[in-house]
A and B are shown apart, each in its own frame.
Chain A
Amino acid sequence: MLTIVFYLSENDSNRQQSRRHEQVKYLALRIHLRIIVVLIATRKFASNIFARRLATGTFCTNAPSELNDVPSGSHFYKDDAGFMKDVPQHDIAIVGGGMVGMALACSLASMPLTKHLSIAIIDSNPALSNGPIIKKNEPPDPRVSTVTPATISLFKDIGAWEFVEQHRHAYFDKMQVWDYTGFGYTRYNAREADKDVLGCVVENKVLHKSLLSCLQQNKDFSSTIYPTRLSSISLPTRSSVSSAGASVSSKSSKNLSNLAKLDLSDGTNLYAKLVVGADGSKSRVRELAGIKTTGWNYSQSAVICTIEHDTENFCAWQRFLPAGPIALLPIGDNFSNIVWTMSPKDASNHKIMNEADFVKAVNHALDFGYGPRPESRVFGGDVISSFFKPDVTSSVHEQFEPPPKVVKLASDRMAFPLSLMHANQYACKHVVLVGDAAHTVHPLAGQGVNMGYGDVSSLSNVIADGVAVGSDIGEVTLLKKYEADRKTANIAMMAVLDGFQKAYSVDFGPINILRAAAFNGANVLAPLKRNIISYASGERDRLAVAWREACDGATAEQAAGGSIRCAVEEGGVRRCTTTAERLGG
């Protein structure tokens, strides 16, 4: 499959042929991604059954070149006993104090089982020590994130959402998606999935500051911020304990050979049981641990900026253009955020053109440009619609609304190249990756940072479960539980987003009709729309939700072997207890 791809990419005779080749290339790459998903699923199943048959090459301990290996073998590496007392020791070292790293720290601080862990946060950003300064009257920063309801509930659990609400934030409950062909449109309304909001748009610096305030407010949680950068990590190699080797250490000296040692760029060292890589898509931790990635660059860049309207905007708009989607997200106070995906050359042109021209270009792209407006579909009247009547959505009756006009540019324009990346493993001994260090996606559905917050939620639960049963938190069997949980969810989401990206970059008659049919289908069919909304909102495990309701409100947990235990009591009454109830007595 890949050989075909490379062959085609070399042939570039004429434009028509090359476009078709590009389409086939994208198709091949997409199929390749599906094959990866299937392979991972079967490999996981096989590795669970055939415990030792599979090669142990899945672990990342194949001594990458930059790693300083602790000499292994039958003796133990004994550090200079005199220096050990001065080197700080922490339970968890979070490398990267961005939104996701800080969320992990706050999440660990908020749970009773992990409150006692000592955390080190390594980030050279000065905002961490002083706190980012947010002036109330400034126009919004163009770097924003759309936070899904699942992430909002994570923030509420860790106690950081109250800080977010003190600053500018914009809930939205409506969304309209259409494309340039004018064949169809979809309007989403949160009411259809029985929710209040579809999401909330918040500036990244507001999220970051809220998490920092939440962490600083938590007085009995020990977290130390190291305002420097990571230069290298020494991981103990996994050597099996041999009884033939004499034990070098005496009981009095602490043997640190089972801890990871981090060397920071200002010369300090620290030891940690677990190193969390939350340092973004160019993760140094991932590089040092030798974890390989899969992915490709989209030949697109995104231009982002803040713009102003005459009226308030409470709806999220997304229009798919031939070169990429343009999204308009409300940010509050008549401001909105633009994320416009286009080719890299156009991106640099749009970044430097003068303001008036840019505003005109944006209005052109949002409405009337590249193609007609879709017709408003008024449902009812014809035979087919009366057939579908019972299960239609309420927003079907809503007319197509043109997006609000952009009046003024309110911030600088920024441009970023877009790519898809996925780390082959999320965890190896003493190292785990979360957020963008593990995966990056196209921004077209606003899911990127939400996947990172999902990682945070899962990892903190896994660590809490490990502490509950006394495990060593750096142990790879524990970390693999986190990987198993998140990898399938992340890969599924990435496949969906990548599929969208490919589907919308093809300008080919039959494909356009298919897309229009998909728009109209999603608009009309209630179960489909409900599922789309709940998937995009980060609601997980709909089966577990149904099971929960069936079991008299007992929650379905799979925490470290805990589960629902349903026993038949006297009289044939079925009673279910959860691990929490049993633990609590």
Chain B
Amino acid sequence: MSRRMFSRSLYQLQSLSRNNGPFLHNSSVNSKHAVLAAFQPLLHNRPYATTPHPAASASSLNQTELAKFAAIADSWWDAEGPFKPLHVMNPTRLAFLRSTLCRHFGKDPFSTRPFEGLKFIDVGCGGGILSEPLARMGASVTGIDAVEKNIKIAQLHADLDPVASSIEYRCTTAENLVEEQMKFDAVIALEVIEHVADPAEFCKSLSALTVSNGATVISTINRSMRAYATAIVAAEYILHWLPKGTHQWSSFLTPEELVLILQRASISVEEMAGFAYDPLTGQWSLTDDIGVNFIAFGIKNSE
């Protein structure tokens, strides 16, 4: 108990320096990585991100990352294939989205289509694993991805279900949509930000796509020792859940960094939760432990 109180006070100290005051209600911060985060410079330079195209195009794409996903695009909807961990984790992410977004938009959580009338965008939708359930929950979903193959797969699969065939899939980037001045009630980018070249710019684009007082939800993996052990060593090298090289530890973000860059993009993070995997039941569940996988829900400041 005292260790928690120490880390909590350390965390409050950090957030005081950002003139924000404590706003994360439900997180229990690991004291060790709080110390690390306090002294680590923000990630503007990321040595691995060798973008062939110059950054002047204001694109947050990283071509090597795109190539990784294009290679296994065919197996998106194979629940036993390389994307199995994502399929297994999907209901848990959706449970978080449902609870936070229903609360934010004031919708009835027991209705079957609570998001009726809302416009959502799924940034980095891949094969549409997240977009289809959101469409079934009533939202008008736009799914975007930079890999053309993913969009094709997503479109084909969505046409199998009349409800899902209302999803609009486009092969484009968040920046392009900002230029088109599109706005959405909720902008959702799950497991994407660890693959982009410039997370700060990416967050600014996401913020520009959100209406004021709209929601932004980002999920990623924490840059902690535990995450290195589980998400990279265990998942990629030992258990072969993901192809080797899917994730780079240096591109992970700690929760404090994510909150800070979102803050600078005028999004204030309201809730944060973590995902934990139970090997005995083979299921993911929502927890307060943001040590490895975590998801953050933020609200765009009203302009």
- B-contacting residues of A (Cβ < 8 Å)? 44-45, 47-53, 56, 112-113, 116, 240-243, 245, 247, 249, 251, 254-255, 257-258, 465-472, 475-478, 481, 484, 558-563, 565-568, 572, 579, 582-585
Contact = CB atoms under 8 A, between A and B. Distances in A.
Contacts of A258: 160-161
Contact of B110 (A45, A112, A249): A112
Which of B87, B91, B94, B132 has the most chain A CB atoms closer than 10 A to its own CB? B91
A584 B108 CA distance: 8
Nearest to B82: A52
A560 B96 CA distance: 10
A242 B149 CA distance: 10
B26 A45 contact: no
29 contacts: A48-B281, A49-B279, A50-B239, A51-B239, A112-B110, A240-B77, A240-B81, A241-B77, A243-B152, A247-B155, A247-B159, A249-B159, A258-B161, A468-B95, A469-B91, A469-B137, A470-B134, A472-B132, A475-B79, A477-B79, A561-B93, A561-B286, A565-B287, A566-B288, A572-B1, A579-B99, A582-B103, A583-B103, A585-B109
Given A562-B285, A585-B103, A254 B109 contact: no
Nearest to B155: A247
B156 to A, nearest CB: 5
Contacts of B279: 45, 48-49
A467 B136 CA distance: 8
Given A247-B155, A563-B285, A583-B109, A51 B74 contact: no
Contacts of B87: 477
Given A44-B282, A558-B285, A585-B109, A468 B79 contact: no
A254 B164 CA distance: 11
Contacts of A251: 159, 165
Contact of A582 (B99, B133, B136): B99
Given A247-B156, A561-B92, A567 B25 contact: yes
A583 B133 contact: no
B40 interface: no
B287 to A, nearest CB: 7
Nearest to B93: A561
Nearest to A475: B79
B179 interface: no
A45 to B, nearest CB: 6
A477 B28 CA distance: 31
Contacts of B111: 112
Contact of B282 (A48, A468, A567, A583): A48
Contacts of A243: 73-74, 149, 152-153, 156
Interface string B195-236: 000000000000000000000000000000000000000000
A51 B95 contact: no
Contact of B286 (A254, A476, A563): A563
A113 B95 CA distance: 14
Given A241-B156, A243-B74, A469 B283 contact: no
Given A49-B239, A484-B281, A563-B286, A471 B74 contact: no
B1 A561 contact: no
Contacts of B4: 568
Interface in B84-98: 84-85, 87-88, 90-96, 98
B159 A469 contact: no
Contacts of A476: 79
A582 B101 CA distance: 11
Given A255-B162, A471-B136, 9 more contacts: A47-B282, A50-B239, A53-B240, A255-B159, A469-B133, A560-B95, A565-B287, A583-B99, A583-B110
B16 to A, nearest CB: 16
Contact of A255 (B5, B133, B160): B160
Contacts of B45: none
10 tightest Cβ-Cβ pairs between the two chains A and B: A470-B133, A561-B92, A48-B282, A469-B94, A470-B136, A583-B109, A258-B160, A243-B152, A560-B91, A561-B95
Nearest to A243: B152
Contact of A584 (B85, B94, B109, B135): B109
Given A476-B79, A565-B286, A567-B26, A241 B153 contact: yes
Nearest to A582: B99
Interface of B: 1, 4-5, 8, 25-26, 28, 73-82, 84-85, 87-88, 90-96, 98-99, 102-103, 109-112, 127, 132-137, 149, 152-153, 155-157, 159-162, 165, 239-241, 273, 275, 279-288
A50 B159 CA distance: 32
A308 to B, nearest CB: 50
A157 to B, nearest CB: 16
Contacts of A113: 110, 112
Given A47-B282, A48-B282, A565-B288, A240 B75 contact: yes
A76 to B, nearest CB: 8
A565 B94 CA distance: 17
Contacts of B165: 251
Contacts of B285: 558, 561-563
Contact of B84 (A45, A51, A472): A51
Which of B84, B87, B95 has the most chain A CB atoms closer than 10 A to its own CB? B95
B137 A477 contact: no
Contact of A562 (B79, B241, B286): B286
Contacts of B1: 568, 572
Contacts of B91: 465-466, 469, 471, 478, 560-561
A52 B109 CA distance: 35
Nearest to B274: A565
A558 to B, nearest CB: 7
A51 B103 contact: no
B109 A467 contact: no
A576 B77 CA distance: 36
A481 B241 CA distance: 20
Given A52-B81, A52-B240, A241-B157, A568 B28 contact: yes
A559 B109 CA distance: 14
A477 B82 CA distance: 15
B199 to A, nearest CB: 26
Contacts of B152: 243
Contacts of A579: 95, 99, 286
A242 B288 contact: no
B94 A470 contact: yes
Contacts of B280: 45, 48
B74 A240 contact: yes
Contacts of B110: 112-113, 583
Nearest to B127: A241
A2 B86 CA distance: 41
B281 A467 contact: no
Nearest to A247: B156
A566 B28 CA distance: 10
Nearest to A245: B156
A444 to B, nearest CB: 32
B88 A477 contact: yes
A50 B25 CA distance: 36
Contacts of B79: 475-477
Contacts of B103: 582-583, 585
A585 B75 CA distance: 37
Which of B73, B80, B111, B153 has the most chain A CB atoms closer than 10 A to its own CB? B80
A250 to B, nearest CB: 9
Contacts of B90: 469
Contacts of B102: 583, 585
